[in-house]
Structure 1
């Protein structure tokens, strides 16, 4: 059999009506609703913040979502425990059972 390889080309976060795009290789700049913007950025009266954190770009919301991307290969997503059983897709459904992750909201693979 063959082997599969994946990589991150860019990272996109859609939150509070904003589309925040962090392209691979970017440092200190993001696109917000297709407009190139220098960091830090505060949106929606502080409800969404985009900033540089070391070598990574971070998107943080007032409801506890934190997304980081190092601009190359590594992305992470964290959310508070109040979202248990409320997510789906790439994040799984956050019920501490990895066997039923990656399902659609209707339970299908």
Structure 2
């Protein structure tokens, strides 16, 4: 799996949040869970925007699977705009749960 350097992450965030007045470094803090929210955004709204904008290989490089699984709950999946994304990420969640060893 490809890993993005910080500069690349900032560019990806800046591109996807072009209409938001939040600087990319703050968005990265939000994505990494270092802050709870910024402006009108939460981590979940940022992740939803990323999922609706970028392919899976980008998402998987930005968000560790262990952090993504809990976010992909029923409410989150239903909030996705496109039915194909709802199905795709429900499938991805099931595969990630099967592939990751149990914590502990």
TM over 0.5: no
Structure with the largest fraction of helix: 2
For the pair shown, which has the larger CA radius of gyration, 1 or 2? 1
Q: If the length of structure 2 is used for normalisation, what is the TM-score?
A: 0.30
TM-score, normalised by the number of residues in structure 1: 0.29
